[in-house]
Structure 1
């Protein structure tokens, strides 16, 4: 049986109304090095993921109340967990039931009675694939590209971590009303604007990436940039104003003309900006200001 090093332990959420199945999977997965989370119903599973995000989910198809299909649909509607692999456990092998699982958003399925070595093999494949995808999403975030994908109905297919964070700021009714028209608008269209405190969140269509997959860029832009720079960097109001113009590519002479002061005065403000922030070049100052003012 394959085991996992302690430093690379992954967590798996098992959802089944049968205590015997939960016990079996708990023993099997723990013995293989996984951290195991257990839930005996759909609502209990939703409570678990509200506090802890697993690396993979195993869910029984037929449960009283909220079925496995219902759980899958709920998971796929939440940007935080939409990309987590979900494997159905089912005794139903008819094609229509298998298709129904995939239509609900399942990544894979295994049949009962469970062949444990096969289950472990499938888990390993999906966790590894999901790990690569998360690494790519994190790289996009680090590059300042907060991206997500939605289908025509407005359901989130995946989102980078920072994009998911910004999506979570949007009111639930606003998220529920999001959709993509058929045919979709041209790339670059701003699909949504929402005021959140001192920021405006914008959702912009990048383009279609599949038959029913549309890529979006989401960003939060401050409505009071000078105040943000002043507060975050400990600058005076005039220094923050100068830094803002630097971030917009203006030269010292340009800024002097805009603020109606001498270029020498602007150079003194820039020197103070460097002293207070620890930065040493205009390029570094501009990049820092842009990062603080444009989240995404």
Structure 2
């Protein structure tokens, strides 16, 4: 919790608990929103995005588990950490809370020092994850983050457009749920896409890149710039930052032959150097 007045949404059907937590957190300089039911929590969070949610697990009508799942299904709230408060310490209830999208749980009666510590940790994690996502969004890459069950947590704008245009959200989730390695996605009436693992995106999230195969990317460059098949291969590797020597080794060409291809590539792309050629290749592959 910081001097910038973090906002905490407390969801509990007990007026005593709401009063106790509200008084304690407001004394810390935190803005507190309160809800006495899961449905009320969804309505409030839909208007004001909290920094963290403290969620009672057991409530009438809509319990905390269902409310958490509904919150996580809202794109603007998917990153908000939900900490469960419960008198149920059995393993099955803890697992159920985490499975519904919660990041942690506290057993009632609530220890205020422990509560403050948990909030600080999860706020820091959520903000670090958001900063990383913002940087990836700005990079113009086709990247998506998936949870352990293969569900899409977030995607860069470029990936979101591609997923929507091709209607492949369910195909991605089904493929990722079955394996955490590189996968090929069959696309009706289109070239297949590769779902390539990149690394961890945030707590419990896996980062993937949506890409075409090398052959498909080379064919795209060939078509876009009227290149020969070999020129397209050379340009593909130029776009990936390879030196002439590297390209020669990869394609089995002499450095002199690579240079000859580069001269033709520069002329066809209307550029004067490899940096400009690499930029044009990257733009073409990104726009696909």
1:187 counterpart (168, 182, 185): 182
For residues 101-140 of structure 1, the aligned pairs below 5 Å read 101-140=97-136
CA distance in 2, matches of 1:37, 1:167: 37
| C-alpha distance in 2 between matches for 1:79 and 1:203 | 25
2:52 to 31, 51, 56: 56
Q: CA separation in 1, counterparts of 2:29 and 2:41?
A: 21
Which residue does 1:95 correspond to in 2? 91
How far apart, in 2, do the equivalents of 1:164 and 1:14 lie? 34
Which string of whole-angstrom CA distances, capped at 9 and with x for unpartnered residues, describes residues 186-238 of structure 1? 626246689xxxxx9x975113868x96543359xxxxxxxxxxxxxxxxxxx
TM norm structure 1: 0.60
Comparing 70-79 and 120-129, the one that deviates more? 70-79
User: Aligned to 1:205, which of 181, 195, 198?
Assistant: 195
Give distance in 2, aligned partners of 1:63 and 1:108.
18
Residue matched to 1:141: 137
Q: Is the partner of 2:77 in helix, strand or coil?
A: coil
Helix, strand or coil: the match of 2:109? Answer: coil
Distance 2:37 2:268 in 1: 67
Output aligned runs, 1:1-296, within 5 Å: 4-6=2-4, 9-145=5-141, 146-152=143-149, 154-156=150-152, 158-159=153-154, 162=157, 166=161, 175=169, 178-180=173-175, 183-184=178-179, 187=182, 189-190=184-185, 204-207=194-197, 215-217=207-209, 287=279, 294=286
Q: Which runs of 5+ in 2 are unaligned?
A: 212-224, 226-234, 240-260
- Can you list the C-alpha shifts for 1:62-101, whole angstroms capped at 9, x where unaligned? 0111111112223344454333221001111223322322
Cα RMSD of the aligned pairs, angstroms, is: 4.6
CA–CA separation in structure 1 for the residues paired with 2:158 and 2:29 = 31
Please say if residues 69 and 101 of structure 2, whose CA atoms lie closer than 8 Å, have aligned partners that are also in contact: yes
Of residues 33-42 and 249-258 in structure 1, the stretch that sits farther from structure 2 once superposed is 249-258
Larger helix proportion, structure 1 or 2? 2
What is the number of residues matched between the two proteins? 242
